[in-house]
Structure 1
Amino acid sequence: MLLMGGDQIDEAVAHAAGVLRAAADRDWSVKAGGLDWSCLRTAEHIAGDFSAYAGQLTGRATDGWVPFDITLDEGTGPEGAIHAIEATGGILAAVVRTVPRGTRGYHTYPSGSADATGFAAMGVAEVLLHTYDIARALDVDAEPPAALCEAVLAHLFPHVPPALPGATPWTTLLWATGRGTLSGRAPVTQWRWHNPHSLPAGPVALREVTPAAAADLAAGGTGGLTWLGGGPFKGTRAAAGMRTKAYAAGALRPGWGMYVMVRTADELAIGGMGFHGPPDDNGCVEVGYDLVDAARGNGYATQALRALSEWAMTHSEVTSLLAVTAPDNAPSQRVATRAGYVRLPDRDTNHAYGLHRP
């Protein structure tokens, strides 16, 4: 699975330009497939999305959209619209490549912000899907490279099983966005993508790990992050492997998985933390965590566990949280107790700590 960045935006824009130029001599005043916009207006929308996403990052927007938009000049035809897509796509790709690490901008769903990787993924999704809408009306083929579709699904649709029977990454993406059907699956009539959560925790932030980043971590990569001390602890890679398997099995639920602790002062990743899965039938959810050696002794894990626990308790389905540690792992036990967890009866040979809803 590809990590999202400027190269993926460039590839998606090149694909779109090739598809749309094949139909540049046709009537772009007709409605794009499935939309109320004309094909020309849909192309304008793609360019507007690219410029808006770039502006959210460069403007460091925190609580709303930067108040500007772009429109095509009066009299612009299909070739001019395609050129606008290429130009604004290039702007977004350049911004994604050059903004400082950790830069975030406002985006509505699901938690109010996205980073450069998220805006890259949304930009790729917009251009692939709306190019399809235009191509559908103008009767040209618009199927993009499978790797790009896999990357969009892994970044923005972690709740969608990636290997549905009889489906390709492209047909899965079309189905997930209400543009197609799949055998044995109900049509999608309402949908939203999922930008990974970022939970503030004092000097650190908890950044939700996408399936694409988890696969990279499990394979020995960095997950698109820079790590203090040269790399994550083995527990983080093991958790990433579990998340990768859960995604492949279609068992992921956004939010209830793996996060990476990032020190916000320098945007260095210092450890992993997260849930072993969604709440069980009794409303209990198990947490786990580890920290690279160079980051220990600063209270980072304690503050992160408090923030993660508070986030979990905002969900009415959660009644308690559980942390299980080896008997000789005194540092992890101190993290749990300092975060408000209390000792419970042992689980097999391990120590258990719990936090219950008041």
Structure 2
Amino acid sequence: MGEWGGEQVEEAVAGAVALLRTVTDRDWEKVRAGRMEWSCRRTAEHIASDLIAYAGQLAGRAQTAYVPFEITLDEGTDNAGALDVIETTGALLAAAVRTAPREARAFHPYPFRSANREGFAAMGVAEVLLHTHDIAEGLGLAYEPPAELCEDVLTRIFPQVQPGPAPWPTLLWATGRGDLPGRAPVTEWRWHNNLVLPTERLTLQGVTPAAAHDLRLGGDGGFAWIDGGLFEGTREAAGMVAKAYEGGTHRPEWGLFVLVRRQDGQAIGGMGFHGAPDEEGRAEVGYDLAETARGQGYATEALRALSAWALARDDVRVLFARVDRDNLPSQRVVSRAGFVQVSEDEEQLAYELRG
């Protein structure tokens, strides 16, 4: 899976600006932008403001809040000048995405108070696509961005949205801008950056549908894997995430996490849930680890963190794990993480951890 983000921001901005330059002679201030309360002019300025805000967050690595600045267009700036500003702020976001390290994260409120470079790129692309649609609708222009670009956004920051018949109508529906057959209208929405759980030596990074699809097909999912680190179990778990997403049952925080070492940014294994908690509040956990990373307490450290996060929720009462009888190292991992054996059969031992 190649690096994603900078090129896509540039593509979205170029397509939007090319369309809107055909109508710079119109009065954007007197025309409402689609279903929004803003004028087309105000919406164009908002696009630029979002792009520079995301660039600033990522470049400055803000951790607790938005960097306190905003963009203001000079008095007398015409529509063509506003588009120049969108091009410039888009270039700044693309540069910030390209130069940010793989592991860099910065503050964004939805929903887990941070986003990585892909997340900021996807949010920037979404702002451009959706608000260009609003302006185009207000001005009576036809606009449809590339399907791949829309799918890229959906699979990165809308993991809770089941794919529809085509990416663009699905993105419009998911943001309250259109209808899809068989689905209720959307009146409130937020995008959904991935969950990351920190430990002393690791970060547990939630796998997006985009990354899961790549892992299922034999790619690296956008991670830098340690030699021998990508086990078949991780690919199978990624396949479960991709299947749940396609079926509309995926709950992002109840999928797969990749274990990434803080010291070098290398991915050393996978851990996660076999699905969301059932009606009794039970959820099953599973994991695998690269052979070269075993015996150093990484799996125990990660399982403790994942268990603590899950059991702190109101919808989880019990975690359980199944371990092969001959897998003594894995039995030690679950035991050190606080799990207690509750049953067994000819092939496996069953463990539980209660909140």
Normalised TM-score (structure 2): 0.97
1:230 CA displacement = 5.5
The answer (yes or no) to whether the contact 2:228–2:291 under 8 Å persists in 1 is no
Match of 1:312 among 310, 313, 316: 310
Is residue 4 of structure 1 aligned with residue 14 of structure 2? no
Aligned positions of 1:1-358 closer than 5 A: 4-29=4-29, 30-162=31-163, 164=164, 167-229=165-227, 231-346=229-344, 349-357=347-355
Q: Which amino acid is 1:189 matched to? A: T
User: What SS class does the counterpart of residue 262 from structure 1 fall into?
Assistant: strand
- Structure 2: unaligned runs, 5 residues or longer: none
User: What SS class does the counterpart of residue 322 from structure 2 fall into?
Assistant: strand
> Which region of structure 1 is more displaced relative to structure 2, 204-213 or 28-37?
28-37
Task: Output the CA distance in 2 between the equivalents of 1:186 and 1:101.
Answer: 37
- Structure 1: unaligned runs, 5 residues or longer: none
Q: Which amino acid is 1:23 matched to? A: V
Task: Output the CA distance in 1 between the equivalents of 2:332 and 2:24.
Answer: 65
1:101 CA displacement = 2.3
Over 3 Å counting, the alpha-carbon distance change for 1:33 and 1:2 in structure 2 is farther
> Which region of structure 1 is more displaced relative to structure 2, 123-132 or 10-19?
10-19
1:55 CA displacement = 0.9
The answer (yes or no) to whether the contact 1:2–1:151 under 8 Å persists in 2 is no
1:99 CA displacement = 1.3
User: What SS class does the counterpart of residue 185 from structure 1 fall into?
Assistant: coil
Paired-residue identity, %: 59
The answer (yes or no) to whether the contact 1:2–1:147 under 8 Å persists in 2 is no
Task: Output the CA distance in 2 between the equivalents of 1:119 and 1:53.
Answer: 6
1:2 CA displacement = 8.8
User: What SS class does the counterpart of residue 353 from structure 1 fall into?
Assistant: strand
List structure 1 segments (4+ residues) > 4 angstroms apart after TM superposition: none
Task: Output the CA distance in 2 between the equivalents of 1:118 and 1:291.
Answer: 26
State the Cα deviation string for residues 283-337 of structure 1 (Å, max 9, x = none). Answer: 1000010111111111111111111111111211111001111111111111111
The answer (yes or no) to whether the contact 1:211–1:247 under 8 Å persists in 2 is yes
Over 3 Å counting, the alpha-carbon distance change for 1:348 and 1:12 in structure 2 is farther
Over 3 Å counting, the alpha-carbon distance change for 1:121 and 1:130 in structure 2 is same
The alignment of Structure 1 onto Structure 2 pairs a total of residues equal to: 354
Task: Output the CA distance in 2 between the equivalents of 1:83 and 1:114.
Answer: 27
Over 3 Å counting, the alpha-carbon distance change for 1:262 and 1:81 in structure 2 is same
Task: Output the CA distance in 1 between the equivalents of 2:303 and 2:26.
Answer: 57
The answer (yes or no) to whether the contact 2:281–2:316 under 8 Å persists in 1 is yes
